[in-house]
A and B are shown apart, each in its own frame.
Chain A
Amino acid sequence: MSLFQGINTSASALTANRLRLDTIASNIANAETTRANFVNGVWQPYKRKMVELSPKSGESFDNLLQAAVGNITGKNGDQGVRVTAIKEDETPFKRVYDPSHPDADQDGYVLMPNVDMMKEMVDMISASRSYEANITALNATKNMMMKALEIR
């Protein structure tokens, strides 16, 4: 039963939240991108990306060993979080009237990315708060390890 596992768990969450922030940054940067994919001779606008999270399986060697020798009973926690996929948002594109736009069709309409700035901002705050919470946990782990070293 090692405290280092605690650091690894926090680190996995830091990585996942960093990736979430990167994805949000990409969404915001491409909020006006009308030429992201070239499909059948037509340019498609950028599709909003989302991160899919799932708990890491707790079947590490340490967990199985501790359960086998009976140090812990009951179901042992999954350790950490991981990103399983980056999904694309399939909601329809926004259709904006802008005849002077280079990608406007005959009627003067342009397909714009399905990025909602408000949604991105809320997600961004959520991700950065999660990041901070995990930093706190990581510092707590560090402090506990230092305390344990003080026993003499």
Chain B
Amino acid sequence: MLGSYHTQILERSMNAANLRHRTITNNLANIDTPQFKSQQVVFEEYLQQELSGALGKQKLEAYRTNERHIPFANAGGFAMPQIVSNPNNIVQNNGNDVDLESEQTELAKNQIWYSGLTQLTSGSYQKIRSVIDGGGK
């Protein structure tokens, strides 16, 4: 129960937020480096695909002869964050395409997302603790 699919998704989302934060930090660090190309992290789209089962269709399903056999669901096809570069960004004269304003906005958005995820994770553990304590008996 502690390692449920729900908490797994939260954990992977937090890892993605972490990776995105590092990517943005790196973009900001190289804001004046000639020929540097900024990088972005794509994750939400992949997670959406996984949750809607689009990724699940591609993976191998375990053959089950009985309803009560444990399904090997989520045995693969996990949504993983991907680092990409956008070639359509406006490039400055020194070959650098870091946009300070958009990076700062992404940084702020990512922070809110991360703190939301920490609250959700806390909440799910809070529920389990409440059950262990026997509710409000």
- Taking Cβ atoms with an 8 Å cutoff, the residues of A that contact B are 1, 3, 5-6, 9-10, 12-13, 16-17, 20, 53-55, 70-81, 126-127, 129-130, 133-134, 136-137, 140-141, 143-144, 147-148, 150-152
Which residues of the other chain, A, contact B17 by a CB distance below 8 angstroms? 144
Contact partner of B24 (CB less than 8 A), chosen from A3, A78, A79, A137, is A137
- Taking Cβ atoms with an 8 Å cutoff, the residues of B that contact A are 14-15, 17-19, 21-26, 28-34, 36, 39, 80-84, 100, 103-104, 107-108, 111, 114-115, 118, 121-122, 125
- Tell me whether A152 and B122 are in contact in the complex, defined as CB-CB below 8 angstroms, given that A55-B30, A144-B21 are known contacts: yes
Kindly list the 8 A-B residue pairs having the minimum CB-CB distance in the complex, ordered from nearest.
A13-B29, A53-B33, A6-B25, A74-B83, A9-B25, A74-B82, A81-B29, A147-B118
For the complex, what is the distance from the CA of A6 to the CA of B107, rounded to whole Å? 12
For the complex, what is the distance from the CA of A140 to the CA of B22, rounded to whole Å? 11
Which residues of the other chain, B, contact A9 by a CB distance below 8 angstroms? 22, 25-26, 29
Nearest Cβ on chain B to A74's Cβ, whole angstroms: 5
Nearest Cβ on chain A to B36's Cβ, whole angstroms: 6
Assess the A151–B122 pair: CB atoms within 8 A.
Answer: yes
For the complex, what is the distance from the CA of A140 to the CA of B83, rounded to whole Å? 20
